[in-house]
Structure 1
Amino acid sequence: MRDLIIEKLYEFTKKPYQKFFKKGIPWNITPSQLIQYNQDSLGFHLGCFLLKYNFEMQPKLEDHDIIHVLTNTQVAVTDEIGMQYFLLGNGKRSMYLYMVITIGTLFYPFQMKYFIRNYKRGKMAHRIHDLDFLKMLTLPLTALRTTFNII
């Protein structure tokens, strides 16, 4: 039931967040195009991630899926919350992030060790939350993880 509530909150808030808070231009690239990149590239792995979960990239929210790939984060609700903890540790500050962390912590207090572990991972990593990932799609995923100390 908790997962369903959080998923519905996400669906309810996604469109206003895209429209009023996210800047930039949608990438207009499909998973099929991404898997044409070199097999070691960030773009290829992003395409595989999207196809694995039968996702399409959400306009202006492409970075979210990239963070999944870079941090090797799955898509369960607690994983999504953990990823927000990673981003908090990495220096990201946004109303949306605080909302997810607050609600997630209240709904899943028994996952605090997991959340704190992700926060610490974000602290140890070099700042990634505001990079221009579109320009990085051809770069090797392992090199990016190493360069930005994403463990």
Structure 2
Amino acid sequence: MDKYHKQVDELRKLEKGTLGKEIADCLDNHNLTLVPKYESHDLKHVLLDFKMTAEDEIRMQAFMIGNGNYSIPSFTIFFFGTLLLPDLWMTFYSDFKNGRNTVPVSEWTVEEYAFRPINELRTELAKPKQENINSIDMKRFTQLTAMTAIIAGIFGMLFCLPYLFSSNMADLVGAGFPFVGGAILVVGGLLTLSNISKGNKESQQVISTIANAG
């Protein structure tokens, strides 16, 4: 039995109502097991009560982006989800807002929280985040600018895309440069958000270390 199958077996033995037991039940119900480096992904599905469906996967990514998890996989899933499911935009926006009003969970791990009652953890999630407004104004401005660049770049690329298949050289040249420019905006925005997310995680680790030392 490999490490992750053994870990799921240990989760099955936990008391009913704990996060770990709920994760094990969810995996068993879908004939799944923990995937290396993606254990926390299953934790979030169970903790945040998002089902193991394509629609709820997109909803969860909208929540996580609002929660401060600015990763390339999250943005990729969310972007294609909004393109394929425009009728759910308001639902995605609601999930995004819920993520903004919830304590950060991107660093939560199965090992750390498996033994905790899931209802207790969900109550903790609902507590308002304590933020220093003055210290985060610039960070929020940077985030907004990066997201604006991503959106502008995506729309620019989509607008130019049909012309890239034209047989007219003028169309190809005219659309090629804006398309590349849009791609640069998207990549730059994603890198900026990724760096901000890394900074947030490092800050959380420092705070956690200080708290444990105290």
TM-score under structure 2 length normalisation: 0.55
**Which of the residues 101, 104, 126 maps onto 1:124?**
101
Amino acid in structure 2 at the alignment position of 1:124: N
- Equivalent AA in structure 1 for residue 98 of structure 2: R
User: For each residue in 1:13-50, what CA deviation from the matched residue of structure 2 results, as whole angstroms up to 9, or x when unmatched?
Assistant: xxxxxxxxxxxxx7564433212101121100000110
Measured against aligned partners, the alpha-carbon deviations of 1:99-135 in whole angstroms (never above 9, x if no partner) come to 1111111111111111111111111111111223311
CA distance in 1, matches of 2:54, 2:109: 26
Asked whether 1:92 is paired with 2:69, we answer yes
Contact 1:86–1:119 (8 Å) recurs in 2: yes
Match for residue 47 of structure 1 among 4, 7, 24:
24
Equivalent residues of 1:34, 1:46 under 8 A apart: yes
Structure 1 residues 1-151: aligned runs within 5 Å? 29-149=6-126
Moved beyond 2 Å, runs of 4+: 26-33
- Number of equivalences: 125
Whole-Å separation in 2 of the counterparts to 1:28 and 1:54: 12
Q: Distance in 2 between matches of 1:149 and 1:44?
A: 22
Cα 1:91–1:85 shift into 2, 3 Å:
same
Instruction: Give the superposed CA RMSD.
Output: 1.6
Higher helix proportion, which one?
Answer: 2
Q: TM-score, normalised by structure 1?
A: 0.77
Give the number of the structure whose alpha-carbon radius of gyration is greater: 2
What is the alpha-carbon distance in structure 2 between the residues aligned to residue 131 and residue 70 of structure 1?
Answer: 10
The alignment-based identity, stated in percent, is 27
8 Å CA contact retained: 2:4, 2:36: yes
Task: Give the letter for the 1:41 counterpart.
Answer: T
Residue type at the aligned position of 1:123 = R
Gaps of 5+ in 1: 1-25
Counterpart Cα distance in 2 of 1:146 and 1:134 = 20
